[in-house]
Amino acid sequence: MQLKGVRSLIAGKAVWGFSLTELMVAIAIGSFIALAGTTFYVTTVGSSKDVYDAAARTEQIYSPAASLLDDIRRAGYRGTPAALSSYLLTTQGFGASAGDEGDFPAIEFGTSGAPTMSGATTTDCVLVSYVQQHTCAAGDGVAGCAGAGTVVQVHHRFGYRLRNHVLEATAGVHPGEYSGGAPVSGCTAPPATAPWVPVTRLGDVFVDTFTVELINENIADGDNDCVLGVAGAAPCDTYGNTSLQACGSTALSCRIDRLYKVTLCAYPKSIDNQCANDPDDKIYVELYAKPRNAVLIQAAAS
């Protein structure tokens, strides 16, 4: 009787709620929405990380490549004309041997010295140098400064090399070095003031290829602009058989304009020699640079 009364009471009023079937359908729909949202979040975060990692790898390659191009463009002599003769005596060649560009050339390929012909390539190291006028200030600590207002020629040198698939860089400043001996620095013996430091991280990017190539050069008589190796109109009609090796002789000073190509190839995986196979996420850089300052070789004294 009591149960029957309860049923009668319920039957006489509106009853609100969900049936078991409705609850199960609602839970299923909610779970699907939650799963879709979670999947979207995980995918978005993962994609963002991939984009960030790719950008970081690209930055590690493009930044030093752009820096190297800037250094190549400003290579050579940028000091005062009055100091040019002294600079040429010890730095850019002066009668030591025909075609000599000195112990401290504007662009130096590894341990082989200055590139001497189109097609010359370095695959591990390049050194770039330029000289610039510096006006001394009190207490600036630059060697050769006798006091505020003194003008000296400051010798800047930058290097880039590939060691164990890590790109490294160095920078040195050598005040007044062109008036004495060339600074002791190079691909295996960096300047004491600036050791080689890595600019890429092997855990992020595997640098497979680093080359700098001399792809074109124009060699002319420094006095009359006649192009060597080309028999032109007078007074250039006698230059057809003249080569770079004649530069620095008692009869010939030279001006050399050059064009360089910088190539870098890298990828995330630490597997050697994969650039030709187009691995995933390959970063390939091919850039060209021409120094604003021509290489100068002064004729030897007669």
Taking the CB of residue 184, how many other CB atoms lie within 10 A of it? 12
**What are the backbone dihedrals phi and psi of residue 86, each rounded to the nearest 5 degrees, phi first?**
-65, -40
State the DSSP string of 22-43.
HHHHHHHHHHHHHHHHHHHHHH
Q: Which residues contact 265 (CB under 8 A, 6 or more apart)?
A: 207, 208, 209, 275, 282, 283, 284, 285
Structure tokens at 192: 């004491």
Judge whether 90 and 178 are in contact, CB under 8 Å: yes
Judge whether 254 and 248 are in contact, CB under 8 Å: yes
* Amino acid present at 212: V
Taking the CB of residue 195, how many other CB atoms lie within 10 A of it? 10
Residue 80, pLDDT score: 63
- Using alpha carbons, list the distances in angstroms from residue 120 to 58, 100, 275: 27, 16, 21
Q: Classify each residue of 280-296 as buried b or exposed e, where b means 16 or more C-beta atoms within 10 Å of its C-beta.
A: eeebebeeebebebbbb
How do the pLDDT tens digits run along the chain, 302 residues long? 444 545 555 555 555 667 778 778 888 888 888 888 787 777 776 666 666 677 788 888 999 999 999 999 988 776 666 666 666 654 544 444 545 666 667 888 876 677 777 778 888 889 888 877 778 887 776 767 777 888 777 778 888 999 889 999 988 776 554 444 444 556 776 555 567 889 998 888 999 999 999 999 888 988 888 999 888 888 899 898 888 888 877 778 888 889 999 999 999 888 888 888 888 888 999 999 998 888 887 777 66
Cα separation of 287 and 212, whole Å? 10
β 107-109/125-135 pair status: antiparallel
Residue 271, pLDDT score: 83
Q: Which helix (H) or strand (E) holds 88?
A: helix 84-90
Residue 130, pLDDT score: 81
| 219: DSSP letter | E
